């Protein structure tokens, strides 16, 4: 049987850490959870916690009387209490410099137990090392951790800063539907069966893309929304079935207008939330440059170790692994892992295995000893001249480790791009307090989808092709570049956008190039193509992954840390155990049946 | 074949109505839609529209040259154009006082057609009288109407004001899940089949109720969120399957704390958005008082016409319709429709028919003629003394019409409450620019559900019973009052909330009283009851219907006017035609089948 007193007649006067030495001798009422209780016999010390921090309460029989003292003896960790008392200065020897309120304490005159508590399944403490599955089952307790609370409060502050900026810039906050139509392409939709129209389904939006374009067509000029989006995909560390986008769209703009506005937004976000100054303008790389130099379309610029193309150096060598790759239209490239020349052989082998996991057939390497000699399994296949040229190209110095990959370009990029990150991690170059932004532009309009044996949109189907590539649309669509741009931070794509197609013919041509029949395109997007008949302004926009930005700002390793109630790998919630079984009657109303029951 | 020029090399310098006489002789670039085009032969006038309003452009062959002029001859309504030109003062006789920019015009020096347009299916104009179904099919055109744009921009401003207030007051904006667990009670859930866990379903939230309570339990202290909620119910004028709530929860508070904070919020909302001053504190009525005086738990206080209980006057009369109702535990009550004494008989009969539609067996009435005599079908059954007492009780004056209803109390309340509104509407007492607020408190905890033959929660299952009624919980739950409160505006419930149960025993007792077995309650709310073991602060909150507030602020007749892309009666979207048929493969992945296909 639990025990709880009413708070009737009591009003909280202060949050715990609002009390300072200025309040000494004042009567105050504080309320919160008991973090710790120390019984010194005759005097009980209680550390009381609220969202602002801790405050020490002294319960002394001489101040509170017999009954109050007896009550306080029942108190355990995580009890919720209300304390009316007097703020007092601590004696020199009891001052706790680790505590914001460490120079004062509250002497209890009246104490109520508002709620008792069983011993929680784990202790409430910063940087808990408790298993995540247990913490997520008891998420309401996990969320009592001050570090987690701070992260969610930072996220709240972040959205506030975004909203105030967007409003100052004249953007209108407009809500778009959650119950909408299933879209082809992109990821898998979450579906919602309709009761009123049996056999029909809504889809939860993967993004408000079409709606925000229609709002531009309506003349709202500047739209933004912080909005939940949904993708029914298998989860990775930084993915959730539902996630939050900062969604932006503008009319009568070109790339520079969108990018400039967003740079101001990012600068404001990082200044006001993190007190970090971002140097503007943010660097820009084309997609091709990003791939050539960093092996990634979301390059991490916190460190160098850029890719170097040595194809010309090795293309005529007798080492077929190298010359063959070049001859087949691929390339040979390398990176210089500075100071890693003394890496033990088994660690180098581990890098080689990683390279294979990234798609390469293998990894070649040259370690430069301190005396300038080489350790390598490939130098013997190459002329001294070529080896020297390779080392020179990578600016190899004694103590460096040079890694090479020879294959089709996409394999080389992916392998070296990832090895670059692995080595940076090992060398501790990925500083969490450095925030390095870069725009990546000029993406290919389409990419080859080997499963579906057709081209699919790289950004999305509404992305405008570059004017100068328009002629390639019918001759070689794979070469068409788009007016898309991603904004990357420390190797993470935190946002992406594009100028949109605003001419119906161009939109139809893109549908066609992506293999949609006219009928198909109309079935799915008829209303958009119809809308395009009635006067469309040039427009473009961008969408940020809010969860990911909050994750990077808080230095978290997972977006789960910046989501109050996240899902786990199988898209379930360990706390509510959603998804769950529903009543037969509910399914009947929706006119659906579960397949496996039928089998 | 449509026609469109690129805007490359052009930058908009001003929105249309940003231009004033101060800009005369300046070179500007404006962009927008052509509202109207007048060709005066050699000179073409274009009214250009953007979200701020209209601006007149003059295209004169002498300024723009042959080619530019030819282009401008192609321009039709809703074309999107960009105009570079010179701001000029209009001559006295061409000044348009109806237009904000009516004293100036822009002389075009360069003109581009950014997008042509077919003739739209209806004209873009304020207060369109076009059929709503056509407007909703072409919602993107409907949304070009300045009145509709203003409404949505007001809504955006409203949320901005709410957010800034909540932040100042220390509330944390926390997102709760959209994919969650189906809840019993309340309305019907929208379900989302799980692919990873076949046969299992998420539900879209009807409200974040449980999550916000858990956030209080976690110690976030003050939570708010502006959040989409979902109910799969048949639609009425002011209902949508998805709607937006301003959701608020606070810890360590009582009713007054919650109500005071919300009064400040409402005052700020109406001041900053509408420039309307709300007199604080807002009036409070108990549920019983509201029913007795206004026949409604969401009373409209913009006018009087209060219900008067005349049961004592008529209980011993020979008129069985009256005395019988009182004898059966019901009552006889009346309202005075001032100045309606000369209402034609067929209109009075129509009121009687309305009364029947509200559940009454009939409606009695006395019209007081200007000479003080009565016109009535019931006075003959009543003594003169009783008739005089009835008239006196209702303060009847010559020219008044007195309406009476005799039945069970709930029927009398509902009938007279609705007749009161009907008459107020007829007398034009429902002024849209008057904003009259009232709190309704002390609701019954439960109400009898005749279908399910059991009590269901009137507010919701987490509502705290009044302390002084706690003993009735086991003896007569129908008499228990709750610590719930609704905030009403002009006869609309715009928000509601309560103090929540924070003791596990009380919560279990309520589940029991509502007919949940212990097992059942645990099945559904186990995680909440478990959470209650670990220290729960007293807490309470409130949720507003944002759509409804925006509707009332904008004087709209439907919430569809303040939603960018609303659904219609069958919960479908006429524009996207969602919900729609999906591919068989999608259903296979979800392991569900459509019933009707199986039949």
How far is B516 from chain A, CA to nearest CA, in Å?
A: 15
Looking at the partner chain, which of A149, A156, A577 has a beta carbon nearest the beta carbon of B173? A156
A339, A333 in Cβ contact below 8 A?
Answer: no
Instruction: Tell me the average pLDDT of chain B.
Output: 94
Asked if residue A246 belongs to a domain, the reply is: no
pLDDT value of position A198 = 93
- Angstrom distance (rounded) from CA B554 to CA B561: 9
Q: For position A43, which CATH number holds?
A: 2.40.50.140
CA end-to-end span of chain A, whole Å? 47
Looking at the partner chain, which of B7, B218, B591 has a beta carbon nearest the beta carbon of A252? B7
How far is A571 from chain B, CA to nearest CA, in Å?
A: 7
Asked if residue B262 belongs to a domain, the reply is: no
| Cα dihedral A157→A160→A164→A169 (10° resolution) | 100
Q: Which of A205, A233, A236 is nearest to B589 (CA)?
A: A233
Per-residue burial over A42-74, b if 16 or more Cβ lie within 10 Å, else e, is eebbbbbbbbbbbbbbbbbeebbeeebbebbee
3-state SS, residue A440: strand
Q: Does A265 touch chain B (CB under 8 A)?
A: no
CA end-to-end span of chain B, whole Å? 47
What's the longest Cα–Cα distance across chain B?
95
Lowest mean pLDDT among B83-87, B130-134, B267-271, B402-406: B130-134
Looking at the partner chain, which of A163, A234, A534 has a beta carbon nearest the beta carbon of B120? A534
pLDDT value of position B516 = 83
Looking at the partner chain, which of A201, A230, A538 has a beta carbon nearest the beta carbon of B7? A538
Asked if residue B479 belongs to a domain, the reply is: no
**Interface mutation target, options A218, A499, A590, chain B, most CBs of B under 10 Å:** A218
Per-residue burial over B140-168, b if 16 or more Cβ lie within 10 Å, else e, is bbbbbbbebbebbeebbbbbbbbbbbbbe
Is A125 annotated as belonging to a binding site?
no
**Interface mutation target, options A35, A158, A221, A579, chain B, most CBs of B under 10 Å:** A579
Looking at the partner chain, which of B197, B572, B589 has a beta carbon nearest the beta carbon of A579? B197
Question: Phi and psi at residue A184, in whole multiples of 5°?
Answer: -80, 180
Asked if residue B269 belongs to a domain, the reply is: no
Asked if residue A266 belongs to a domain, the reply is: no
Question: Phi and psi at residue A85, in whole multiples of 5°?
Answer: -170, -170
Helices (H), B481-599: 504-513, 518-531, 546-553, 584-590, 595-598
pLDDT value of position B177 = 98
- Angstrom distance (rounded) from CA B204 to CA B181: 8
Query: How many structural domains are present in chain A?
Result: 2
DSSP state of B175: -
How high is the mean pLDDT in each 10-residue block of chain A (599 residues)? 81 98 98 96 95 97 94 96 98 94 97 96 86 94 96 98 98 98 81 95 95 97 98 81 98 97 98 97 98 98 97 96 96 97 95 97 96 94 96 97 98 98 96 96 93 86 92 90 97 97 88 83 84 96 98 95 95 94 92 72
Question: Are residues B179 and A116, on separate chains, in Cβ contact within 8 Å?
Answer: no
pLDDT value of position A194 = 96
Instruction: Supply the Cα-derived Rg of chain B in whole angstroms.
Output: 30
B118, A534 in Cβ contact below 8 A?
Answer: yes
* Bridge partners, residue B108, by sequence: B85
Domain with B395 in it: 303-426
Residues of chain A with Cβ-Cβ distance to B8 below 8 Å are: 254, 467
Is A85 annotated as belonging to a binding site?
no
Looking at the partner chain, which of B31, B117, B153 has a beta carbon nearest the beta carbon of A534? B117
- Angstrom distance (rounded) from CA A362 to CA A407: 9
Q: Does A533 touch chain B (CB under 8 A)?
A: yes
Check pLDDT > 80 for residue B27: yes
Cα A34 vs. chain centroid, distance in angstroms? 34
User: Which residues 382-441 of A are in CB contact (within 8 Å) with B?
Assistant: none
Residues of chain B with Cβ-Cβ distance to A204 below 8 Å are: 178, 192
Q: Write the CB contacts of B169 (distance below 8 Å, at least 6 apart in sequence).
A: B222, B261, B264
Q: Does A89 touch chain B (CB under 8 A)?
A: no
Tell me the pLDDT tens digit for each residue of B37-50. 999 988 999 999 99
Burial degree of B374 (CB within 10 A; 0-12, 13-18, 19+): middle
Question: Are residues B594 and A198, on separate chains, in Cβ contact within 8 Å?
Answer: yes
Lowest mean pLDDT among A560-564, B400-404, B488-492, B511-515: B511-515
- Angstrom distance (rounded) from CA B461 to CA B501: 9
Question: Are residues B593 and A598, on separate chains, in Cβ contact within 8 Å?
Answer: yes
Looking at the partner chain, which of B190, B234, B564 has a beta carbon nearest the beta carbon of A174? B564
Q: Does A174 touch chain B (CB under 8 A)?
A: yes
pLDDT band per the 50, 70, 90 thresholds, residue B234: confident
Check pLDDT > 80 for residue B2: no
DSSP A359-404: T-S--EEEEE-TTS-EEESSGGGS-HHHHHHHHHHTT--TT-EEEE
A185, A456 in Cβ contact below 8 A?
Answer: yes
3-state SS, residue B445: coil
Q: Does A465 touch chain B (CB under 8 A)?
A: no
pTM here?
0.95
pLDDT band per the 50, 70, 90 thresholds, residue B598: very low
- Angstrom distance (rounded) from CA B310 to CA B290: 17
User: Which residues 558-577 of A are in CB contact (within 8 Å) with B?
Assistant: 563-565, 567, 570-573, 575-577
**Interface mutation target, options B252, B504, B583, B595, chain A, most CBs of A under 10 Å:** B252
User: Which residues 199-238 of B are in CB contact (within 8 Å) with A?
Assistant: 199-204, 210-211, 214-215, 217-221, 228, 230, 232, 234
A23, A17 in Cβ contact below 8 A?
Answer: no
Chosen domain end from B367, B396, B426: B426
Question: Are residues A565 and B198, on separate chains, in Cβ contact within 8 Å?
Answer: no
3-state SS, residue A140: helix
Asked if residue B202 belongs to a domain, the reply is: no
Q: Does B182 touch chain A (CB under 8 A)?
A: yes
Chosen domain end from B97, B115, B133: B115
Question: Are residues A221 and B51, on separate chains, in Cβ contact within 8 Å?
Answer: yes
pLDDT value of position A184 = 62
pLDDT value of position A158 = 98
Chosen domain end from A56, A81, A115: A115
pLDDT value of position A598 = 42
Check pLDDT > 90 for residue B597: no
pLDDT value of position A63 = 94
Task: For B596, name the nearest residue in chain A, comparing CA atoms only.
Answer: A591
A221, B156 in Cβ contact below 8 A?
Answer: no
A245, A227 in Cβ contact below 8 A?
Answer: yes
- Angstrom distance (rounded) from CA B465 to CA B460: 11
3-state SS, residue B102: coil
Residues of chain A with Cβ-Cβ distance to B15 below 8 Å are: 221
Rounded mean pLDDT, B322-326: 97
Q: Does A118 touch chain B (CB under 8 A)?
A: yes
Reported residue count of chain B is 599
Asked if residue B22 belongs to a domain, the reply is: yes
DSSP state of A561: G
* Bridge partners, residue B110, by sequence: B84
- Angstrom distance (rounded) from CA B520 to CA B527: 13
* Bridge partners, residue B81, by sequence: B32, B113
Tell me the pLDDT tens digit for each residue of B431-457. 999 999 999 999 999 998 888 888 888
Q: Does B195 touch chain A (CB under 8 A)?
A: yes
User: Which residues 123-142 of B are in CB contact (within 8 Å) with A?
Assistant: 138-141
Q: For position B339, which CATH number holds?
A: 3.30.1360.30
Question: Are residues B580 and A182, on separate chains, in Cβ contact within 8 Å?
Answer: yes
**Interface mutation target, options B576, B577, B581, B586, chain A, most CBs of A under 10 Å:** B576
Residues of chain B with Cβ-Cβ distance to A464 below 8 Å are: none
How far is B229 from chain A, CA to nearest CA, in Å?
A: 10
pLDDT band per the 50, 70, 90 thresholds, residue B184: low
Is A546 annotated as belonging to a binding site?
yes
Residues of chain B with Cβ-Cβ distance to A118 below 8 Å are: 533-534
Residues of chain A with Cβ-Cβ distance to B6 below 8 Å are: 467, 538
Q: Does A114 touch chain B (CB under 8 A)?
A: yes
Question: Are residues A578 and B533, on separate chains, in Cβ contact within 8 Å?
Answer: no
Q: Does B143 touch chain A (CB under 8 A)?
A: yes
Question: Are residues B1 and A254, on separate chains, in Cβ contact within 8 Å?
Answer: no
pLDDT value of position B599 = 40
- Angstrom distance (rounded) from CA A226 to CA A545: 10
Asked if residue A275 belongs to a domain, the reply is: no
User: Which residues 471-500 of B are in CB contact (within 8 Å) with A?
Assistant: none
Q: Tell me how many residue pairs between chain A and chain B have CB atoms under 8 A apart.
A: 372
Q: Does A597 touch chain B (CB under 8 A)?
A: yes
Task: For B570, name the nearest residue in chain A, comparing CA atoms only.
Answer: A196
Reported residue count of chain A is 599
Prior bond of A281 cis (ω within 30°): yes
Residues of chain A with Cβ-Cβ distance to B540 below 8 Å are: none
3-state SS, residue A119: coil
pLDDT value of position A185 = 64
Instruction: Supply the Cα-derived Rg of chain A in whole angstroms.
Output: 30
Question: Are residues A149 and B215, on separate chains, in Cβ contact within 8 Å?
Answer: no
């Amino acid at each position: 049987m639990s025990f709880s007193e009413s708070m009737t007649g009591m009003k909280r006067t202060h949050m715990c850490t609002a009390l300072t030495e200025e309040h000494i001798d004042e009567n105050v009422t504080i309320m919160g959870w008991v973090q710790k209780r120390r019984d010194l016999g005759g005097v009980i010390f209680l550390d009381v916690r609220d969202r602002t921090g801790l405050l020490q309460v002294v319960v002394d029989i001489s101040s509170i009387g017999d009954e109050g003292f007896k009550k306080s003896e029942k108190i355990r960790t995580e009890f919720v209490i209300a304390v009316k008392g007097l703020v007092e200065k601590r004696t020199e020897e009891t001052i706790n410099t680790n505590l914001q309120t460490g120079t004062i304490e509250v002497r209890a005159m009246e104490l109520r137990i508002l709620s008792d508590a069983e011993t929680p399944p784990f202790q409430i403490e910063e940087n808990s090392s408790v298993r995540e599955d247990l913490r997520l089952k008891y998420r309401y307790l996990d969320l009592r951790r001050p570090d987690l609370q701070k992260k969610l409060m930072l996220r709240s502050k972040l959205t506030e800063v975004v909203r105030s900026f967007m409003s100052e810039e004249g953007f209108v906050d407009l809500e778009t539907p959650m119950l909408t139509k299933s879209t082809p392409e992109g990821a898998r939709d979450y579906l919602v069966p309709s009761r009123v129209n049996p056999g029909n389904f809504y889809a939860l939006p993967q993004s408000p893309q079409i709606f925000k374009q229609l709002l531009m067509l309506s003349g709202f000029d500047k739209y933004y929304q912080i909005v939940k989006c949904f993708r029914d995909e298998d989860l990775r560390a930084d993915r959730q079935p539902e996630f939050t986008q900062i969604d932006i769209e503008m009319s009568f703009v070109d790339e520079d207008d969108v990018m400039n506005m967003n740079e101001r937004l990012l600068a404001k976000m990082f200044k006001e939330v993190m007190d970090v100054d971002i140097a503007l303008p943010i660097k820009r790389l084309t997609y091709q440059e990003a791939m050539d130099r960093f092996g990634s379309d979301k390059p991490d610029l916190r460190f160098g170790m850029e890719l170097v193309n040595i194809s010309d150096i090795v293309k005529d060598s007798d080492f077929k692994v190298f010359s063959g790759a070049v001859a087949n239209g691929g390339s040979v490239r390398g990176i210089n892992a500075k100071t890693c020349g003394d890496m033990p052989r088994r660690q180098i082998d581990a890098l080689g295995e990683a390279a294979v996991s990234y798609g390469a057939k293998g990894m070649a390497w040259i370690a430069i000893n301190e005396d300038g000699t080489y350790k390598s399994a490939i130098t013997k296949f190459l002329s001294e001249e070529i080896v020297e040229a390779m080392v020179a190209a990578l600016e190899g110095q004694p103590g460096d480790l040079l890694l090479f990959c020879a294959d089709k370009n996409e394999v080389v990029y992916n392998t070296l791009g990832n090895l670059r990150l692995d080595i940076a991690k090992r060398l501790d170059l990925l500083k969490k307090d450095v925030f390095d932004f870069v725009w990546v532009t000029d993406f290919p309009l389409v990419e080859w989808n080997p499963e579906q044996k057709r081209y699919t949109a790289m950004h999305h189907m509404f992305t405008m092709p570059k004017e100068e590539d328009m002629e390639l649309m019918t001759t070689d669509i794979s070469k068409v570049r788009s007016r898309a741009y991603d904004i990357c931070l420390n190797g993470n794509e935190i946002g992406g956008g594009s100028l949109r197609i605003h001419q119906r013919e161009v939109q139809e041509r893109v549908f066609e190039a992506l293999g949609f029949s006219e009928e198909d395109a109309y079935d799915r997007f008829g209303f958009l193509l119809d809308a395009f008949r009635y006067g469309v302004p040039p427009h473009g926009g961008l969408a940020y992954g809010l969860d990911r930005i909050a994750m990077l700002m808080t230095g978290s390793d997972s977006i789960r840390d910046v989501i109050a109630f996240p899902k786990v790998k199988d898209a379930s919630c360990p706390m509510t155990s959603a998804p769950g079984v529903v009543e037969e009657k509910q399914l009947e109303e929706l006119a659906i049946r579960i397949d496996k029951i039928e089998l």
